[in-house]
Amino acid sequence: MPHKVISLISVGRHPQSGRSRRADQDSRAVELGLKLAGTDLDVVHAGSSEEPVLRQYAGMGLPKVTVLEQAESADALPAISSYLKTQQADIVLTGVRSESGESSGMTPYLLAEQLGWPIVARVADIVEVKDGEAQVLLALPRGQRRQVTVKLPFIASIDNAAEAARQSAFGPGLRAKMEAQSGSTEEDSVRVNWSEAPAKARPKRLKVVKAKTAADRFKAATAKPQGGSGKVMKNESAQEQAQAIFDLLIEEKIIR
């Protein structure tokens, strides 16, 4: 039985020009969805069906895009979650975080919570779906992967390490059908009160390179950081664990 796969897409934002575009991670989610389900893939967007960026996604070879029609100020979550409840999907793919809007990265988590599904975060690839289970590769830093097995249905957020999206072709994008359904009218009350400003570059911690030789520098640049001072707290009480984190944050001057 073929599995029902849904990819969620949003309107991205080009980091240099600030112009709307197909979001990088979302288009990777579509790419992975196409790999898993071919053109049976259901691609869902909550927003306006007039949005030109949807054509860029459709240009990847989607015959149609499902649009949950709603105003820009409306919350995407209720519309998507009620849509998913009607669909009996096996796998839902999203980006890790959107490139515009709140960009909190919470959508997959909140959906998982509402649907009661497991979530796998930062997926690099879904290798196989068989017997109600999926073999999933998680992306870890420095090109490392971790293989996990997840029961269907589940939500996966797609990491930048996943296969890059194929080229978007203008013609098929132009001809794809935008199938509009009514979305939610619930206003995103948090977002409404936000004001957007250009981000300031985040301060980076200075890296003190102690290496004396080229080999050492190479190692420092490539090797997995050996967090010498880290410790694993398994048996301590929640109080103690929280205190440890709190102390670390103060030590690193993240909170003062």
Verify binding: residue 246, another protein, rule CB under 8 A. Answer: no
Of 12-20, 100-108, 130-138, 233-241, the window that binds another protein (rule: CB under 8 A) is 12-20
Contact 184, 71 (CB under 8 A): no
Closest to 120 in 3D by CA, of 75, 153, 164, 87: 153
Which distant-in-sequence residues (6+ apart) come within 8 Å of 12 by Cβ?
20, 21, 22, 23, 24, 26, 27, 53, 98, 99, 100
Verify binding: residue 47, another protein, rule CB under 8 A. Answer: no
Of 53-61, 138-146, 219-227, 240-248, the window that binds another protein (rule: CB under 8 A) is 53-61
Nearer to another protein, 166 or 177 (CB): 166
Size of the site for another protein (CB under 8 A): 16
Site string for another protein, 112-141 (x = CB under 8 A): ------------------------------
Q: To the nearest whole angstrom, how small is the minimum distance from the Cβ of residue 60 to another protein?
A: 7
Verify binding: residue 19, another protein, rule CB under 8 A. Answer: yes
Q: To the nearest whole angstrom, how small is the minimum distance from the Cβ of residue 169 to another protein?
A: 3
Verify binding: residue 222, another protein, rule CB under 8 A. Answer: no
Q: How far apart are CA 141 and CA 56, in angstroms?
A: 30
Verify binding: residue 61, another protein, rule CB under 8 A. Answer: yes
Verify binding: residue 38, another protein, rule CB under 8 A. Answer: no
DSSP tag of 195: -
Question: Could you tell me the CA-to-CA distances from 167 to 49, 57, 61, 125, 159 in Å, in that order?
Answer: 21, 9, 9, 19, 19
Verify binding: residue 60, another protein, rule CB under 8 A. Answer: yes
The SS3 of residue 162 is coil
Q: How far apart are CA 228 and CA 210, in angstroms?
A: 15
Verify binding: residue 39, another protein, rule CB under 8 A. Answer: no
DSSP tag of 133: E
Position among 33, 47, 59, 78 found at the interface with another protein (CB under 8 A): 59
- Enumerate residues 165-184 that contact another protein by CB under 8 A: 166-172, 174
DSSP tag of 16: T
Contact 206, 117 (CB under 8 A): no
Q: How far apart are CA 168 and CA 127, in angstroms?
A: 24
Q: To the nearest whole angstrom, how small is the minimum distance from the Cβ of residue 236 to another protein?
A: 48
Q: To the nearest whole angstrom, how small is the minimum distance from the Cβ of residue 202 to another protein?
A: 19
Binding residues (CB under 8 A) for another protein: these are 14, 16-17, 19, 21, 59-61, 166-172, 174
